[in-house]
Each structure stands twice: as structure tokens, then as C-alpha cells.
Structure 1
Amino acid sequence: MATTNHISTKWLGNMAFESNNPSGMTFNIDASPDDGGEGAGLRPKALMLSSLAGCSGLDVASLIKKMKLEVDAFHIETIGDLTDEHPKYYGTVRIEYHFYGKNLKEDKLQRAVDLSVEKYCGVMEMFRRFAELEIKVLFHRG
């Protein structure tokens, strides 16, 4: 049976909303002051980039654990370029995986990223339907 996510998003007044998550947690969404909001919440399009990085990051973290790799730190930079015309969407998204450590096994870390990008990450697959993806893996030793 297919999994269904049901999210409730409630208007708080002006341009602010509160949205829930199956985790039981909530977060606020708001427009910037330039767009009539108060800037007191997360922006919807930027949240999509966080979802992409979070989804792939969970895959890679799980694979780091399974492969017993030594990684001191790891972060993902996700840069989305919006189209000029409305409705604006991400035409190009650059995803950079940064790994830090003294004993990085680059081939295995590259494999972990490839598995996430090509096989496991559902959010990546959704993005692939509308954006050109540019993937980079960077290793920082020391």
C-alpha cells in the first residue's frame, strides 16, 4: 500500500502560516517584508531546497554509518536558480556535498552520494522532473 503524507497548513493572519509534519512538529511560513509579510517564517521555495538537502543528506548519513566511513563533518550547499517568468520555479539546482576529515575514503563517499542521487532520494527524483541538477562532491582533508 502506498504511503500518503497529510499536512495541515493553517493561516495565522496577514501572510503567515503554520504547517505541521508527520513528525508531530510544526513550523511557520511567512513572506518577506518586500512581499507583504513580516519575515517571521520560512519561505516555501527555499524550504524545497532544504527538503532536497535533507532527503539526500539522510541517505548519505545512513550510508556513511553502514560503510563505517570516517567523516568528521559533512554539509550540503543547495543553490536554486529561479526562472524569470511567473510562475517562478527552479530551472537549475546545484547541489554540493562537502566532506571533511583526515581519513576520507573518496571512492566510497562518492558512491554514497551517487546512490542517493540516482536511486534512493525521492525528493531528488521530484526535482529531476522540472530542474536541471548539477551535482558536485568536494573533499576537504585535515
Structure 2
Amino acid sequence: MSTNTSHTKWLGGLAFESTNPGGVLTIDASIEQGGKGSGFRPKAMMLNSLAGCSAMDIANLVKKMRADIDTFTIDVEGDLTDEEVQTYHTFRVTYNFYGSNLDEEKLQKIVHLSTDKYCGVMAMFRHFAKIEIFINYLPA
């Protein structure tokens, strides 16, 4: 079993400095929520975590399976409930593959390996939200 750690220090107002083994980032609320808008938003970082986890899988699988792509991007949208304590209920994850010789079948397999087998963040998110997957194949 392994353990991840994080250390978060209050900077005043609604701003915080948060450290984990990969570095340091600033967290802050939007101006509308009483912050200064000077940092990452906690709920939005969940979208980055989902994309980052799957992106690492995709990069490894593209190399391992010798998929011919120029690059790829991942876009994540998350829908929040209207309740007082807003939580995500649906995520839409869109994989965009760019290249002139894309093997759609291979890339679809790569995405499904990430989304259904390897991405731990996606597995965790499925416990509390619906996840919709989309794949686009685009010219370089």
C-alpha cells in the first residue's frame, strides 16, 4: 500500500499554498465567492486530476502500442448539482487525437484501457458521478 501526502498553508483570505510531492500551487476562491481569484479552484482541480491521470495512461499506451499520433488533448467538463453544497454529478471527458494517419480502432482501444482499466481517478469518480467518454480524430 502506498500513501500520498499534501500540506496546505493558509495565506489569508481564501488563499492557500498547497504542496504535494510534485510541487507547489496556489488555491483561491473566485472573486464572486470572496477570494481574489489568484489560484486554482478546488473543484476545478478535480477535472485536472481526472484528465491528468488518463493522459498519463494514454501517453504510455500510445508508446507501447505504437499508435501514430502527432499529439492529443483531453477536455473535461463537470456538471454540479444545484444544492447548497454543490457536488459533481456528471463528467464529460473528450479525447482529441491529432494526426494524419490515425488508427481509430487502436486509439479507441487505448482510450478504453485508460477509462475502464488503468485510471484510478476515473475509477474513484465513478463512485459518485456519471462519466461520458467522447473521442475525436482530427487532422494534424
Amino acid at match of 1:116: S
Identity %: 55
Matches for 1:1-142 after TM superposition, within 5 Å = 2-23=1-22, 25-142=23-140
Aligned residues: 140
1:58-81 Cα distance to aligned partner (Å, 9 max, x none): 000100011111111210110100
Amino acid at match of 2:39: G
Amino acid at match of 2:56: L
Unaligned runs of 5+ in 2: none
1:39-88 Cα distance to aligned partner (Å, 9 max, x none): 00000000000000000010001000111111112101101000000321
CA RMSD after TM alignment: 0.8
1:111 Cα shift? 0.6
Amino acid at match of 2:85: P
Partner Cα distance (1:86, 1:132) in 2: 20
TM-score by length of 2: 0.97
TM-score by length of 1: 0.96
